[in-house]
Chain A
Amino acid sequence: MCRLFAITSKEPLSPMVAVEALNVMREGHDGSGVGLFLRDLSGPFEDLKDAPILSGIFSEEGLKRLDTFMMDVGFMTKYKISIKVPKTPPPGVPRRDIYLIRAYEYPEEWEGLSREDLHFRLMTTRLQLRSMGEQKEDMIVFSFWPDVIMLKEIGDPMAVARHLQLDRKELRARVLMAQGRQNTNYAINLYACHPFFIQGFASMTNGENTAFIPIRTFLESRGFPGYIGYNSDSEVFTHILHYTTTRLGFGIEAYKHIITPLQDGDIEKHPNAEFLRRLKQTCRPLIIDGPNCVIGCLPDGSLFMVQDRKKLRPGVVGGKPGMFAFSSEICGLDAAIPLRDKSRDLQPMYLDTAVVGPDRQEVRLCSQKDPLALPR
C-alpha cells in the first residue's frame, strides 16, 4: 500500500519534511517512486503568486521544443529554478536531462480573460505539452498552474530527494503533499504517480479503485478535455473532486456524498434526504468501491482526507494551530509534528471528511450525516 503524507504550515517548510515522513513509513512503500506537490510557495515565488509555474521533466530536445512552443503562445519566462543533478543518478533513479520548474508571464492576448477561460487555457496548454511529450518522449509535464510545483520521480523517495537536492530554499512551501509508491505496475509511468493535478485541485490515494472502468468511462464522456490520462486508477479521484466542485458547484463536504454515498436507509433519515437521493442517482457512476484513503488539496490551499465507505485504509490527522499534517500512519505524523497534543489526533472514519482550511487553525470534521450545503 502506498504511503501518503501532507502538511500545511504557517511557516514555509522544506519538501524534505514530507520526504522524511515518508521515510519513517517506508515499511509501507517499496521505494519505487515519489510524487511531491507544493503549494503556497515562499522564497522567490512569494512575489509571483499569479504566475503559472510549469513543472516537469525534459530532455534537452524537449526543452528546445518547449521553448519554441511557449514562445509561440506568448509566454515569457519570469523565473526558473535550475536543478542541476549529478551525472550519475542513485541506483533505481533514471537519468534525466532537466527537472524544470519555471514561472511564466501570461501572454498579452490572455489579458482580460475571465477566470474560467484562463483556467481552461492553462489546462489545455498543459495537455498540449503532455501530448507533444508523449509523441517524442521528450517531456513529461506535471502541472502548469500559479503557485504550484510538482515533482515526480522513480526511485526511493529519500534517494530521489537527495539527488534533486530538494532541501533548497526556493522550494519551501506552506502546503506539501507527498506519496511514496508501492508499485503495482512493472513499468512505471510517471503519469501514473500521485499526486494528480487538474486546474488547482490535487489529490493522492492509496489502494485500488475497483470501480475504475465505469468511473473513467463516465468522466471521459463528460466532454471535458481535462478528463484524460488515467494511467493510474486513482487519477479519477482528482477528477471527481474537480467535477464535483467546478461543474456541480459543491463544497468539499459533498465530495464524499458523491464517491461514497450514504446507504438508502441513512439517506431517509438525513435532513437533505430528497436531495441526496437524487444526487446519488445522478452521480451513480462516480461511486467508488475500493479500499481508498484520499488526501487532497483544494485551490484555496485547504487540505482534506476522506476514507472509503468501509474505512479499509489507515489515515490520521493531527497537529497544532498553524501546522497540521495528514498521514497514512501515526509515525509519519510524529516525525513531522512531534510536539502536538496527540490526544487530539483524528482518524477520519467512513462518514467523515477532515478538512484543514487555509487558516490552519483547526481540523474541521464533517460527517455525511450533517446537513449539506446545497450547491451554489
Chain B
Amino acid sequence: MQPERPISPSSLSVKDLRWQILWDKETCTLCGKCTAVCPVNAIELGVFRKRLIEPPVGFLEPPGNITKSYYGVRQKTDPAYACVGCAMCNMVCPNNAIAPMRADEVDKLRFHLDRGGQPRRRGGRRNVPGVLLDRLKFIRISMLTDPALDAGRHEFELRTLLGRVLPPEENLQHIREHGWIPPVREIYPLVIGGMSFGALSPNMWEGLQMGVAYLNEELGMPVRMSTGEGGCPPRLLRSRFLKYVILQIASGYFGWDEILHAIPEMKEDPCAIEIKYGQGAKPGDGGLLMWYKVNRLIAAIRGVPAGVSLPSPPTHQTQYSIEESVAKMIQSMSMAWGFRVPVYPKISGTSTALAVLNNLTRNPYAAGLAIDGEDGGTGAAYNVSMNHMGHPIASNIRDAYLTLVKLGMQNQLPLFAGGGVGKTGNLAANAAALIMLGASGIQTGKYIMQAAAGCLGSESDRCNICNIGLCPKGITAQDPRLYRRLNVDDVAQRVVDVFLSFDTELKKIVAPLGRSTSLPIGMSDALGVDDYRTAERLSIKYVV
C-alpha cells in the first residue's frame, strides 16, 4: 500500500494478523513449494525492491545508490487470505526458510472476518486451552491391605455395555418367561465419535474403518465407531463389518434413504443407532456441510444434489415435540431392525440434560444417552456457537449419573460422555475420570484426528479450516489432490496404535486403584480435585 493512498477499515498490516509468516531470504531456495501448498493462498511470490546506498570512501566521487529487486515470499493481508497457521509451508520447505508465528497480541483480523455480513465459520475446536478433566486426580491408590494390581500381568476386562440393561429381577424374569430383553452390546469403552463421511475425506474414513476392523478382528478389542450424520457407504452397509459401526441419524436424515433400503441386504446388524439431537461444538445448531465439500460422491451417499451447502435443521422436524420425537424416533428405529439393535440419543451438554434423561428412563426402548460437552469438535460451525455455547461435560455427566442413582437405574441406562476428552493429550486420564464420574463410555473425535491423521488444529486457533474442504492434511478435504496426501493404511495403523496405548494407560490408571475385572463406573471415591467448589459440585474429594 502506498502511504498516500486511502485505507479502508479492513486494511490490515501483517502485524494485525493472527499468524505472521517469517521468511528467511538467506535460506529460501525460491522453489515455490510453500506458495503451492498453502491451503488459503496466504502467501505469494513477492518481488521486492531494495535500494542500496553506496557512500564513496574518498571525496571525489559523489554518493550514489542503486536499486535492486529480489524475489521472495510475501504474506497477504487481505482478511480473506489470512494465514491460518497450519505451517504446511514450513513442512514442505526444503531449507526451513519459512514458518508461521503466532501474533504477540490479540489480532485485529478477528474484527474483519465477517465480510458480506457472514459471521466467521470454521471447523476445529473451541480454542480454550485447558480442560477441567486434567485437574481431576486419581487419589485412591491401593496400598497394603489391598495391593495395587499389575497393569502388565493381571487379567483385565475393561468392557462396557451399550444398551438398555434390565434390572436384575426383571431381567431374570424375562429370561424365565422368554420375554423381550433389550439388545445390549459389550463394547470397548472408547468409541470413535460421530464424524461423517463428507466431513471426513474418503481416505480418512476408510482408514478409521480399517483400523477399527483390525482392532476387532485381530486384537479382540470391540471398538466401535459412529458414522456421524452423513450416511454410510453402500458396500459397508452390506458387509460384515457393519457390526462395528454405530449408524447415526440426525435432523438432515442424510444418507438414510440408502441405509433403509439396504436393511434387507444387511449381513449383520449395526452395533447401534445413534440419534443425534445435538453436538457439543454447536449446541442447538444442526450439522453443517458447506458446499465446498459436497462433491458427487458425497452427494450420492447423502442423497442430495452436489455443490450445495447442507445445513441440517437444529431439531428433528418431523415430530411435534421433542419428547415425542425422541420416543417415536427411538421406537421406529428399534422397529426397523426388529428390536435387535440398541437405539440411543446423543445430545449436546446442556443444563436441560436431566429433562432428556428423565424422559429416557421412562422409555423402555432407550438404550442409553450420549452427552457431548462444550469442548466437542466439529467439521463446520459458526465461530460464536463453538466458542460460547454449550455446557461442560464433567458436571453434566455427574448430574446425569447421580440422577440415575436416585432412580436406581445407574446400570440400566448407560451414559456416554464426549467433548474435550483428551483435548490436551491426556486421553486415558480424561476418559477414566469421566468413567469414575459415572460415564459408561467415552466418545472421542478430535483426539483421533490428531493422533491418527495428524490434524494440525490446536486450542489456539490454528488451521481450523475443516469446513471449506481445504484441509492441508487431507483429513477433512473432499478434493482428491488433497486427500491423497493421507495414506489409508497409515491411518488404520495409527488408529490401532492409539487404542493399544490408550488401553495400556487405562490399565495403568485402574490397576493402582485395585480395579481390573470391571470398568470403575461411578467410582467417585477415587477422584480428587484441588478446587473446593469443583469438588463439591462433582461430589468428589477436595485435595490439596
| A interface residues, Cβ below 8 angstroms from B | 1, 182, 184, 207-208, 210-214, 217-218, 221-223, 243, 247-249, 260-261, 263-264, 275, 278-279, 281-285, 287-291, 309-310, 312, 374-375
- B167 / chain A contacts, CB cutoff of 8 Å: 282
A182–B145 touching, CB < 8 Å: yes
| B interface residues, Cβ below 8 angstroms from A | 140, 142, 145-147, 149, 154-155, 157, 159, 161, 165-169, 171-172, 175-176, 181, 184, 186, 405-411, 513-518, 520-525
Q: Which residue of chain B has its CB nearest to the CB of A261?
A: B517
Q: Which residue of chain B has its CB nearest to the CB of A282?
A: B171
8 Å CB contact of A312 from B147, B165, B406, B515: B147
A217–B410 touching, CB < 8 Å: yes
Cα distance, A210 to B516, chains bound together (Å):
10
A211–B181 touching, CB < 8 Å: no
Using a Cβ cutoff of 8 Å, how many contacts connect chains A and B?
111
Please give the distance in Å from B62's CB to the nearest CB on chain A. 91
Q: Given A222-B408, A284-B161, A285-B411, is A214 in contact with B520 using a C-beta cutoff of 8 Å?
A: yes
8 Å CB contact of B411 from A218, A247, A275: A218
Cα distance, A312 to B516, chains bound together (Å):
13
A289–B514 touching, CB < 8 Å: yes
Please give the distance in Å from B179's CB to the nearest CB on chain A. 12
- B523 / chain A contacts, CB cutoff of 8 Å: 210-211, 213-214
Identify the interface centre among A208, A217, A278, A279: most chain B CB within 10 Å of its CB: A217
Additional A-B contact list (20), CB under 8 Å, known A214-B523, A248-B168, A310-B155? A207-B146, A210-B523, A211-B515, A221-B410, A223-B408, A249-B172, A263-B155, A264-B157, A264-B159, A275-B175, A278-B181, A279-B168, A282-B411, A283-B168, A284-B518, A285-B411, A289-B516, A290-B514, A291-B146, A309-B516
Q: Given A214-B522, A249-B172, A287-B517, is A310 in contact with B165 using a C-beta cutoff of 8 Å?
A: no
Q: List 25 A-B contacts (CB under 8 A).
A: A1-B145, A207-B145, A208-B145, A210-B146, A210-B514, A210-B523, A211-B523, A212-B525, A218-B410, A221-B410, A223-B408, A264-B159, A275-B175, A278-B175, A279-B168, A281-B186, A282-B165, A282-B166, A282-B168, A283-B168, A284-B518, A285-B410, A291-B146, A309-B155, A312-B147
Cα distance, A302 to B116, chains bound together (Å):
83
B522–A217 touching, CB < 8 Å: yes
- B175 / chain A contacts, CB cutoff of 8 Å: 275, 278
A221–B406 touching, CB < 8 Å: yes
Cα distance, A291 to B175, chains bound together (Å):
32
Q: Which residue of chain A has its CB nearest to the CB of B157?
A: A263
Q: Which residue of chain A has its CB nearest to the CB of B404?
A: A221
- B140 / chain A contacts, CB cutoff of 8 Å: 210
- A279 / chain B contacts, CB cutoff of 8 Å: 168, 171-172
Q: Given A217-B522, A278-B171, A312-B147, is A284 in contact with B411 using a C-beta cutoff of 8 Å?
A: yes
List of 3 A-B pairs having minimum Cβ-Cβ separation, nearest first: A210-B514, A208-B146, A221-B408
Cα distance, A264 to B516, chains bound together (Å):
14
Q: Given A221-B407, A290-B146, is A247 in contact with B168 using a C-beta cutoff of 8 Å?
A: yes
Q: Which residue of chain A has its CB nearest to the CB of B402?
A: A217
Cα distance, A375 to B176, chains bound together (Å):
9
Cα distance, A229 to B405, chains bound together (Å):
17
Cα distance, A247 to B171, chains bound together (Å):
12
Cα distance, A208 to B141, chains bound together (Å):
12
Please give the distance in Å from B168's CB to the nearest CB on chain A. 5
- A210 / chain B contacts, CB cutoff of 8 Å: 140, 142, 146, 513-515, 523
Q: Which residue of chain A has its CB nearest to the CB of B150?
A: A310
A281–B165 touching, CB < 8 Å: yes
- B513 / chain A contacts, CB cutoff of 8 Å: 210
Cα distance, A247 to B408, chains bound together (Å):
15
Cα distance, A269 to B159, chains bound together (Å):
19
A281–B522 touching, CB < 8 Å: no
Please give the distance in Å from A164's CB to the nearest CB on chain B. 28
Q: Which residue of chain A has its CB nearest to the CB of B161?
A: A281
Cα distance, A138 to B284, chains bound together (Å):
58
Q: Given A182-B145, A291-B147, is A211 in contact with B408 using a C-beta cutoff of 8 Å?
A: no
B518–A211 touching, CB < 8 Å: yes
Please give the distance in Å from A270's CB to the nearest CB on chain B. 15
A375–B172 touching, CB < 8 Å: yes
Please give the distance in Å from A313's CB to the nearest CB on chain B. 10
- B176 / chain A contacts, CB cutoff of 8 Å: 374-375
B146–A287 touching, CB < 8 Å: no
8 Å CB contact of B165 from A247, A260, A284, A288: A284
- B184 / chain A contacts, CB cutoff of 8 Å: 281
Q: Which residue of chain A has its CB nearest to the CB of B519?
A: A284
- A291 / chain B contacts, CB cutoff of 8 Å: 146-147, 514
A289–B165 touching, CB < 8 Å: no
B410–A208 touching, CB < 8 Å: no
A208–B172 touching, CB < 8 Å: no
Please give the distance in Å from B2's CB to the nearest CB on chain A. 72
Please give the distance in Å from B539's CB to the nearest CB on chain A. 11
Cα distance, A260 to B410, chains bound together (Å):
19
A289–B518 touching, CB < 8 Å: yes
Please give the distance in Å from B180's CB to the nearest CB on chain A. 13
Q: Which residue of chain A has its CB nearest to the CB of B521?
A: A214
A287–B147 touching, CB < 8 Å: no
- A312 / chain B contacts, CB cutoff of 8 Å: 147
